[in-house]
Amino acid sequence: LLPPTNFTIKVTGLSQVLLHWESNPDQEPTNIELGYHVRINAPQEEDYETRNTESKRVTVLHKGFSASVQTVPWNGQPLPASSWVSAELKAPPGSPETSIMNLTCTTNTTVNNRTPLRPYQVSLHCSWLAGKDAPEDTQYFLYYRYGSWTEECQEYRKDSLNRNTACWFPRTFISSRGSEPLAVHANGSSKHATIKPFDQLFALHAIDRVNPPVNVTAETEGLGLSIQWEKPVSAFPIHCFEYEVKIYNTRKNYSQTEKITTNTFTSIIDDISKYSIQVRATVSSVCRQMGFWSEWSQPIYVGNDDQKPSTEWFLITLMAAICFILLSFSFICKTAHLWTRLFPPVPAPKSSVQDFFVIVSSE
């Protein structure tokens, strides 16, 4: 087999390249179906086979990109593959220490009141640090690409040197239910150095900040506790969520956390404590790869911790009854003069001195 010809690599978008080649025109006709073995050499090694003569790849490009391709028999015939042909994209100029560092991005879903056909919209927030070798006059610019859409940031936050270090996209074309990676690109400019660009790919499930459940309510009936809530603000349907319910006994300083897949939960509690209830959510693996849990919902409270335990009420009632009986008995004894009969007064001894003065006074 003869190797492919005219192998080229072309940048077609942020963090996106198109590999294109042609079958060798000198290849003699055979009854063997031909295919191609593609090997990505940089920035990360990857091997795959295809029947097509072009291939689109999403990858970071600030480290350069190189690949090779060879002709192979497609139907498993014991025929040796052709030799390799290669192509390369050079890494962009600039010191790596001038690129942005510690790039982090998060997405969040909100209700879209502008377009009825798109009831939800996704916002994007990214932050980073200036490169260690970036001059003080460096200014960075951020872009994202999702699918065929590319946008430049319009709302930046700056550091003490007036350099852009964070970006806010209040409305994007990102689909929270999509499976394509999010490509983020940052370049920069300076009068004193060439600023090297930087690319990073994000899986949406890994950066999506899920909203907490809404309209959490709780009711008690006797010793039974019933909790209900609604799914978070999200494009995912209700069956795509898992929940955790946290019930905290404020009197005993004890909490329990239960994981469930429905939006209702029942439990048994005592009637002498106050409880704090919170719920959080995550998108389950039924609908996409598992990501992070949401924040806990605002706490709601049920029960009454002002009540005394039953043992304390029993002691209080017993002491009150004893006091009442004693007071009643004392009142009856005083009214019927029984106290004097039961406890007659003890006669006081005569005083000789007093008799002496009485005799003297009489004389």
Per the structure, the complete domain to which residue 260 belongs is given by 217-302
Do the Cβ atoms of 269 and 223 come closer than 8 Å? yes
CATH code where residue 182 lies: 2.60.40.10
pLDDT value at 325 more than 90 = no
pLDDT: which is higher, 282 or 351: 282
Q: Round to whole Å and give the CA distance between 123 and 169.
A: 6
Q: 359: pLDDT confidence band, cut at 50, 70 and 90?
A: low
- Give the residue from 89, 118, 138 where a domain finishes: 89
Whether 108 and 44 share a structural domain = no
Q: How many CB atoms lie within 10 A of CB 319?
A: 10
Q: What element of type H or E holds 150?
A: strand 149-152
Q: 324: pLDDT confidence band, cut at 50, 70 and 90?
A: confident
Residue 65 in tokens:
């990109």
Measuring CA to CA, how many Å separate 109 from each of 113, 122, 173, 239, 285?
13, 5, 12, 17, 19
Measuring CA to CA, how many Å separate 133 from each of 91, 98, 136?
18, 5, 9
pLDDT: which is higher, 338 or 169: 169
Q: Round to whole Å and give the CA distance between 63 and 42.
A: 8
Q: 241: pLDDT confidence band, cut at 50, 70 and 90?
A: very high
Find, among 162, 240, 185, the residue nearest to 58 by Cα.
Answer: 185
pLDDT: which is higher, 237 or 329: 237
Find, among 47, 85, 84, 40, the residue nearest to 64 by Cα.
Answer: 40
Q: How many CB atoms lie within 10 A of CB 58?
A: 16
Whether 116 and 138 share a structural domain = yes
pLDDT at 354: 54
Whether 80 and 103 share a structural domain = no
319 part of a folded domain = no
Burial of 280 (0-12, 13-18, 19+ CB in 10 A): buried
Q: What is the pLDDT of residues 245-302, one digit of tens each?
A: 999 998 888 899 999 999 999 998 887 889 999 999 999 999 999 899 999 999 999 9
Whether 81 and 101 share a structural domain = no
Count of domains forming the chain: 3
- How is 96-143 classified by DSSP, letter by letter? GGGS-EEEEEEEEEEE-SS-TT--EEEEEEEEEE--TT--TT-EEEEE
Whether 176 and 248 share a structural domain = no
159 part of a folded domain = yes
Whether 149 and 221 share a structural domain = no
157 part of a folded domain = yes
73-98: buried (b, 16+ CB within 10 Å) or exposed (e) per residue?
beeeeeeeebeebebebebbebeeeb
Dihedral sign from CA coordinates of 20, 26, 32, 38: negative
- Give the residue from 34, 59, 89 where a domain finishes: 89
105 part of a folded domain = yes
Q: What residues contact 200, with CB distance under 8 A and at least 6 apart?
A: 60, 103, 105, 183, 184
Whether 172 and 270 share a structural domain = no
pTM for this predicted structure: 0.77
Residue 201 in tokens:
């790919």
pLDDT: which is higher, 224 or 280: 280
Q: Round to whole Å and give the CA distance between 337 and 333.
A: 6
Q: What is the pLDDT of residues 104-156, one digit of tens each?
A: 999 999 998 877 778 899 999 999 999 999 999 999 999 999 998 999 999 99
